[in-house]
Amino acid sequence: MAIFEGRRRGDNPELPPGQHLTESFPVLSAGPTPSIETADWEFFIHTETGQAHRWNWDQFIALPSEDITVDIHCVTSWSKLGTSWKGVSLDTLFAEVETSSDFVMAHSYGGYTTNLALEEVLDGRAWIAYEYDGGELEPEHGGPARLLVPHLYFWKSAKWVRGLVMQDEDNPGFWEQYGYNMHGDPWQEERYS
Amino acid sequence: MTSPAPGWFTGRLTRAHLLTAYARSLTFSVPGWPGHEAGQHVDVRLTAPDGYQAVRSYSIASAGPGEEIELAIDRLPDGEVSPFLVDDLELGDTVELRGPLGGWFVWRPELTQPVQLIAGGSGVVPLVAMTRAHAQAGSRVPMQLLYSLRMPDDAWYREELSRPSATARITWHYTRTVPPGWSRSAGRLTAEDLERETLPPEGKPLIYICGPTGFVETVSHALTTLGHAPDTIRTERFGGT
């Protein structure tokens, strides 16, 4: 019988259960990378009352931004520690938004969706990121701008994000309809439903 | 190994053979396996004697019902799990398996569109499952596979894919070294290659692309430029950028 020894990396307290470190930045997407010019780009938040808040690219990057250094965890079991981003906090984007809905559906250019609880994306826990590692965010990594919700598995950090739609119920997004967890906390190993 | 943890199956290695010098086909008998669709993947978990565990995802090469699944695994030079599975795991040994996973990058026999499969290197595995499902179902939907590899010796499942009875037509493409007498010189797939060797957009084929990130990016972009609608293209990528 073959005995698996594995590669001892010591117990890394920064690594959630079942994850391993990567130095690279793997890409997982369901389809072709959409090509979005910033001139055509728009971000919206739609509330349950039909109210729409919109930002074009110039308005968006004029908003107060933050430098963010976070660990990211993909459900396919790689983690990358200490990634650096620049983006706009969702607290900033939600400042003028009135809603009583508890959930949001993120929508992306190309049709991707993912569901989140509103409280998971407020209080400094989520951003719309437009720079990665000091440079502009490459299209294959979600540029010109992507959602960044680093405390959840990375499929929740929707690439090519174009807007958030408030929803009263936690309806499933794209991967969530294909058996992935509705919540996706890597520390609880909430990979699949 | 005793009974598997909740959500995990125990798979016992029942057959194995080398696909190339660096890749191995492994067939596991998995009691209770619920079956899977062509293109789905599985998590494999290995446990060291001291309890240390490592998990990786692999595409399933086999298709159809039953409690056996075949994986085809490339030995990554710096890998932690793949060298063990390719070089060390012995017949009768067990691993833990979780799945089947993924419901998007799948082909089902009831789909009626023509199908174009495009593989880069070891990305051929889920596409092999689709050609097998196609054959098993006796599907009359046109299916063809464009398989890009570095050199002839890198081919996985060459005999099966080239068999006269194969129901999916295969086209080979070589990026580094071509076989003697090959009509095209070695090189990366170009838009012209894709236009010549894949189903045209007019027939609205469903397209499945699997390979390294750079390959998938290049091919999917070229196909949309040729006129394929983005929502007809399904991709699966691996590797860093």
Pairing of strands B143-149, B115-120: parallel
DSSP state of B178: P
**What DSSP designation does B38 have?**
B
Q: Which of B101, B130, B155 is the last residue of a domain?
A: B101
Q: Do B23 and B129 share a structural domain?
A: no
B84 and B146 co-located in one domain: no
CA pair distance A163, A166, nearest whole angstrom: 10
Query: Using one digit for the tens of pLDDT, what is the confidence trace for A40-51?
Result: 999 999 999 999
Q: Is residue B187 part of a domain?
A: yes
Structure confidence by residue, pLDDT tens digits, A81-123 = 999 999 999 999 999 999 999 999 999 999 999 999 999 999 9
Which residues touch A112 (CB under 8 Å, ≥6 apart)?
A: A30, A158, A159, A160, A173, A174
Return residues 4-63 of A near B (CB < 8 Å).
Answer: 4-8, 18, 20, 22-34
First to last CA, chain A: 34
- In CATH, what number is assigned to the domain containing residue B127? 3.40.50.80
Interface-testing mutation among B1, B13, B78, B88, with chain A (most A C-beta atoms within 10 A): B88
B109, part of any domain: no
> Are A78 and A22 contacting, i.e. CB atoms less than 8 angstroms apart?
yes
Q: What is the tally of structural domains in chain B?
A: 2
Question: Is the full-model pTM beyond 0.95?
Answer: no
Q: Which of B217, B238, B240 sits opposite A25 (nearest CB)?
A: B240
The domain spanning residue B76 has which CATH number?
Answer: 2.40.30.10
Q: How far is CA B237 from CA A27, A32, B104, B107, B121, in A?
A: 7, 11, 13, 17, 11
Residue B216 lies in a domain: yes
- Is residue B129 located within the same domain as residue B219? yes
B38 and B141 fall within a common domain: no
A181 token code pair? 């967890």
Using a CB-CB distance cutoff of 8 angstroms, which residues of chain B are in contact with residue A2? 84, 88-90, 93
Q: Which of A6, A111, A174 minimises the CB distance to B52?
A: A6
Range of the domain at B178: 115-238
Q: Verify that B84 and B119 share a domain, yes or no.
A: no
Residues B124 and B151 placed together within one structural domain of the fold:
yes
Q: Does B149 lie in the same domain as B121?
A: yes
Question: CA of B133: how far to CAs of A137, B127, B141, B230, in Å?
Answer: 39, 10, 12, 24
Walking along chain B (241 residues) 10 residues at a time, the average pLDDT comes out as 72 98 97 96 94 92 95 92 97 97 94 97 97 96 97 96 93 96 94 96 97 94 96 83 31
